[in-house]
A and B are shown apart, each in its own frame.
Chain A
Amino acid sequence: MIEEHRACIDSMKGVAGCTILRCKTPGDTTEVSGGIHEDFELNRVLLRMRAQPAGNKLVVICTKVEKEWRIGRLSGIRGVPPKFVGRKVYDNEQDPQHDIFLMRLDEFPESDGYPEHFRQGWKRRDDMWATT
């Protein structure tokens, strides 16, 4: 799963935007395959990771336009800006995507989201998009 994610990210370098699919020709989205379209487990793990609430969520921060990127964490509180995580500086916008995937694999308990963890708001995306 990790290898597939890495390969997808590497193949997306140069694309403005990216997804976890493999470009047949690196940097060219004309033909894509693999990744989330073929690896069901990878697909579901990524969806689980993406659905987490904003508090403490990992994010990418561009620190110099087209030159430098770093990883940060959202505060989840209005008016409190994200904070940088670690000192690693990336020279492209795709590599932090893979590192965040690895960090989340380490941070999430293997049993995350099982029915026995039910509570009010279980799996609710506390995304601050008002529910009415």
Chain B
Amino acid sequence: MSWMRLTGYADKFGVHPGDTIKFYINCDGPKQYDARIVKMIHGDTNPRGPGLIERAVRSPVTGTYKGRKQVIHSGSYGFVEDKPQFHLKSFTLQCWVWPTAPKTHPKYWKHGAQGLVTKWHNNKGYGLFINEDGCAELRINGKKITTGAPLRDHAWHFLAASYDAKTGKATLYHEPQIIYALDPEVKPVSAKLAAPRHDSSPVVIAGYTGQHSNAATARSSLPSGILISGMYNGKIDSPRVCNRALSRAEIETMKLGAQRGMTERRNAGPTGALSETIVAAWDFSDGIDTAVGRDHGPYLFDAQIVGCPTRAMTGHNFSGNNFDWKHAPEEYGAIHFHDDDVDDARWEVDFEWTVPKGFESDSYCVKLTSKEGDEDYIPFFVVPRVGEEQAKIAVMIPTISYMAYANEHLANNAGGAELLVYRVPIMQQQNMFLSEHREYGGSIYDTHTDGSGLCLSSRLRPILSVRPKYDHFLMQSPWQYPADLHLIYWLDKLGYKYDIITDEDTNYDGLARLENYNVVITGSHPEHNSGPQLDALHDYTQQGGRLMYMGADGFYWVHSYHPAYEHLGRGVITEMRRCESGIRTWRADPGEYYHQSTGELGGMWRYRGRYLHSVAGTGMSSEGFDISSYYSRTEESNDPRISWAFKGIKYDEKIGNFGLVGGGAAGTELDIVDTMLGSPPHTLVGATSAGRHTEAYLLVMEDFGFNQQGLDGTQHPRVRSDIAYHETPNGGGCFAFSSIAFCGSLPWNNGDPKKNNISRLVKNVLDRFAKDGPLPAAPNSSFKHRGRADYDPPMNKKRK
């Protein structure tokens, strides 16, 4: 069975009227396909909701296109184009390695030898490898020598190989950094070999030249037309190439690398005579935030680093005293390469669309179909330029979060995911396709194919999880993009005029992107955020802006956009590290908490003193993915500061005991008010789902210090969702709905506020927030001094 023969992506998530958006299509099978632009209103196919809603848009894109296959050449490596200085007869190669998958399963997707430092192709040239059996190997032309000793995974080893063309003697050294008591000794091995012959292949770090190809699909490889094979999984530190066979003592000195311009007063390294042998001496601690592996040798053979591997990684000499690469760069000379890294699919453009000036801001897709029944959608948004806003309401689409979840593989990779969702996961066609096509890369929730954490995600590739008609295994329902369409449907159905902006826009344009709107509405799960974006939201709400936080587990993880990809557009690659705490599908290693892109500390905003509760009033306390529940009004909901929101909803009414995500409005991930964690002390809780959750819901780990019984939804008081409101200065305010499932209740009964009290509640809030001018002032009696710790939640009042 063939899954998804049509896939594609656009060069941007958001396009301004007057600008051009490009589309890149892979059509693997059908001779041709049709494309057209649709307005994408609702993407949930659940028969209990309104179903898929798309509207035709007239555009010159509409047409039939010739199908062609385009492929992603995934995997990261460095390369230097062929240079005469690399056409060596005698040589020495050396580097430190920390392999993560030195030996792979025979059915593993890229099983075979892995290249470390190579100028080798088709039995020509030389190179240092890890062979199929996981042992160090030197190749000269078609000959191979190996120590026969498998490299221990997740451990540092020093490898070197020398070759003297005069004597024909080749020697291979493998020296583990740590030797355990019962480890056999690994002796150097030598053999007589003929001198290397050369072709025009590049020097490759973490791979080798597999093929020079004229095929159309090879054009998207880098260098174009050269397919790199033998992708290495693991760290490489301090690779060197020298132009003669060095002695072991000289090799030892060469570990120090090039020390150019040495005088009696500066630098200490190889002697002048030894330095003359250096062809290249790369130092990956230089340029950590770039896509360049700097060569400190005489020829400046900087390597282009392809695939955006993980940098700011601890090297073989990490001392454990400094944890920030900016303060001890010399201990961060390693790059961790992965065979499934993707920075840019680099496909060729199939068609583009110049959005007419003044075109309506909204949610759109390119819809691709074939006569044979193939189908795919490529979502994008038309975003008005700053100053050319079309509405008073803005929906801020959480594109960083879409990138964080992009092409997520958990149902397939993680057997333990079933414990999280409390049922057997259901895989969709997108998951099936991705399970076979690892080259599409994973999400920041996944581990790489070598098991290490995935902390960088590109949007320049087909992102199959950002699709209409896609149910996510977490809830058997839409998640992120298709879930946010629940909100788009509701706004459209109730006739609101709204603009769409994205995380990128807010990150790059700051307050200017927000300040002309009366209200900004988030998506259902704005979990991943950059600092500039949070700054802009803060400025906005402090200056009288109104924020409607439509979901939960928002403002949780620190993200940064990688500056090395800015030339390709805004926010091409986002980075996030999973540090000490928080919900983590993987955990960063010691010393690897700081971002390579900006040098800032990664992890949770909470541990950077920016509590999630401080952004919109509530913060995540629990998660569970079996079923959802509903809300009840609290006594506080009668306070005139918030009672207007509940107009038309009876005090004892069940609020949101229906929905397209888990069957209720309170579900999946839940936020609560906690004034000790940043909720303003004057926050009001209007409704809560306290006491209504199942055993599958568990308290988040950052909220407790040691494991203990009683953390689940049937027992723990913090497993709940609080619908909360607080005023901000200058007539602003924040309304937090505090559940990811919440938006899934909006389309129920076609969003009719008379038949759907979630719709009624949101309408009440939006109508008030969208009005011009400041919000009505709070009663004088509500101005009083409030402590943080003496805040008294409504549930405690009830128990008194």
Other-chain contact of A78, B108, B476, B657 (Cβ < 8 Å): B108
Question: Of the candidates A76, A97, A129, which one forms a contact with B416 in the assembled complex, judged by CB atoms under 8 Å apart?
Answer: A129
B398 at the interface (CB under 8 A from A): no
Complex Cα distance, B426 from A18, in Å, reads: 11
CA distance A28 to B748 in the complex (A): 13
Question: Separation in Å of the A40 CB from the closest CB of chain B?
Answer: 11
B63 to chain A, nearest CB (A): 26
A85 CA to B550 CA, complexed, in Å: 40
A15 to B589: give the CA distance in the assembly, Å.
Answer: 40
Select one of B109, B469, B476 contacting A16, CB under 8 A: B476
A79-97 to B contact mask, C-beta < 8 Å, 1/0: 1111000000000010011
Partner pick for A53 among B415, B471, B627, CB 8 A cutoff: B415
The docked-state distance in angstroms from the alpha carbon of A78 to that of B425 is 18
Known contacts A74-B415, A79-B449; is A62 also within 8 Å of B627 by CB? no
The reply to whether A51 and B419 form a contact with Cβ atoms under 8 Å apart is yes
Q: Are B424 and A58 in contact (CB under 8 A)?
A: yes
Is B234 among interface residues, defined by CB-CB distance under 8 A? no
Q: Does B170 reach chain A (CB closer than 8 Å)?
A: no
CA distance A60 to B585 in the complex (A): 22
Instruction: Give Cα distance in the complex from A65 to B432, angstroms.
Output: 13
CB-based contact B414/A127 at 8 Å: yes
Interface residues of B in 528-579 (CB under 8 A from A): none
Chain B residues with CB under 8 A of A58: 424
Q: How distant is the Cα of A32 from the Cα of B642 in the complex, in angstroms?
A: 31
Residues in B neighbouring A132, C-beta threshold 8 A: 586-589
| Known contacts A60-B426, A129-B414, A130-B587: A29-B657 contact under CB 8 Å | yes
Is A19 in contact with B714, judged by CB distance below 8 angstroms? Answer: no
Contact A66 B424 (CB under 8 A): no
Q: B654 touching A130 by the CB < 8 A rule? A: no
Q: Which of A17, A76, A77 contacts B477 (CB 8 A)?
A: A17
Q: Which of A29, A55, A65 contacts B663 (CB 8 A)?
A: A29
A39 CA to B510 CA in the complex, in Å? Answer: 54
A57 contacts which chain B residues (CB < 8 A)?
415, 418
Residues in B neighbouring A14, C-beta threshold 8 A:
48
Give the distance in Å from the alpha carbon of A36 to the alpha carbon of B607 in the complex: 36
Tell me which residues from 40 to 78 in chain A have a Cβ below 8 Å from any Cβ of chain B.
Answer: 43, 46-47, 50-55, 57-63, 65-66, 69, 72, 74-78
B142 within 8 Å of A (CB atoms): no
Nearest-neighbour CB distance to chain A for B230, whole angstroms, equals 16
* CB–CB A19/B627 < 8 A: yes
Whole-angstrom distance between the Cβ of B455 and the nearest chain A Cβ: 12
Interface check B417, CB cutoff 8 A: yes
B1, B46, B451, B452: the one contacting A66 at CB < 8 Å is: B46
With contacts A29-B629, A130-B452 taken as known, whether A77 is within 8 angstroms of B105 at the C-beta atoms is yes
State the CA gap A128–B451 with chains docked (Å).
Answer: 6
Contact status of A62 and B412, CB under 8 A, knowing A78-B449, A130-B451, A132-B589: no
Contact (A81, B436) CB under 8 Å given A29-B628, A30-B654, A65-B45: yes
Point out the residues of chain B lying under 8 angstroms from A127, CB to CB. Answer: 413-417
B625 within 8 A of A: yes
Asked whether any CB of chain A lies closer than 8 Å to the CB of B453, the reply is yes
Mark A7-38 against chain B: 1 for CB-CB distance below 8 A, else 0. 00000101111111100000111101000110
What's the least CB distance linking B640 to chain A, in Å?
Answer: 30
A6–B435 Cα distance when bound, in Å, is 30
Once the chains bind, are A128 and B427 in contact (CB under 8 Å)?
no
Is the CB–CB distance between A79 and B424 below 8 Å? no
Does B47 count as interface, using CB distance less than 8 angstroms? yes
User: Given A28-B663, A62-B428, A80-B109, do A15 and B714 touch, yes or no (CB 8 Å)?
Assistant: no
Set of chain A residues within 8 Å of B451, measured between Cβ atoms? 128, 130
Mark out the residues of chain B between 403 and 438 whose CB falls within 8 Å of any chain A CB in the assembled complex: 411-419, 422-429, 432, 435-436, 438
The answer to whether A65 and B419 have CB atoms under 8 Å apart is no
Per the 8 Å Cβ criterion, residues 651-675 of B in contact with A are: 654, 657-664, 667
> What per-residue 1/0 map shows which CB atoms of B1-38 lie under 8 Å from chain A?
10000000000000000000000000000000000000
Cα(A82)–Cα(B411), bound, Å: 11
Among the interface residues A43, A82, A127, which one has the most CB atoms of the partner chain B within 10 A? A127
Residues of A contacting B107 in the complex (Cβ-Cβ under 8 angstroms): 75, 77, 79-80
Q: Is the CB of B422 within 8 A of A50?
A: yes
* Cβ–Cβ contact B45 & A52, under 8 A: no
In the complex, residue of chain A having the shortest beta-carbon distance to the beta carbon of B447: A130
**B425 proximity list for chain A (CB < 8 A):** 59-60
Chain A contacts for B587, CB-based, 8 A: 130, 132
Find out whether the CB atom of A15 lies under 8 angstroms from the CB atom of B662: yes
Nearest neighbor of B435 in chain A, beta-carbon distance = A81
Query: For residue A17, which residues in chain B have a CB less than 8 angstroms away from its CB?
Result: 423, 475-477, 625-628, 661-663, 667
Residues from chain B with a CB closer than 8 A to the CB of A80 are 107, 109, 435-436
B412 and A82 within 8 A (CB) = yes
Closest CB-CB distance, B372 to chain A, in whole Å? 15
**Nearest CB of A to B64, in Å:** 25
Report yes or no: A16 in contact with B414, Cβ–Cβ below 8 A: no
Known: A18-B476, A82-B412, A125-B415. 14 other contacts (CB 8 A): A17-B476, A27-B663, A28-B663, A29-B662, A30-B657, A37-B694, A53-B415, A58-B424, A60-B424, A66-B46, A97-B424, A128-B415, A130-B453, A130-B587
Residue ranges of A at the interface with B (Cβ–Cβ < 8 Å):
12, 14-21, 27-30, 32, 36-37, 43, 46-47, 50-55, 57-63, 65-66, 69, 72, 74-82, 93, 96-97, 100, 125-130, 132
15 chain-A/chain-B pairs, Cβ below 8 angstroms: A15-B662, A16-B744, A20-B422, A21-B627, A32-B627, A43-B695, A46-B422, A59-B427, A60-B427, A65-B429, A69-B426, A79-B107, A79-B438, A82-B435, A132-B586
The residues of B with any CB-CB pair to A shorter than 8 Å are 1, 45-48, 105, 107-110, 340, 411-419, 422-429, 432, 435-436, 438, 447, 449, 451-453, 469, 471, 475-477, 585-589, 625-630, 654, 657-664, 667, 694-696, 714, 744
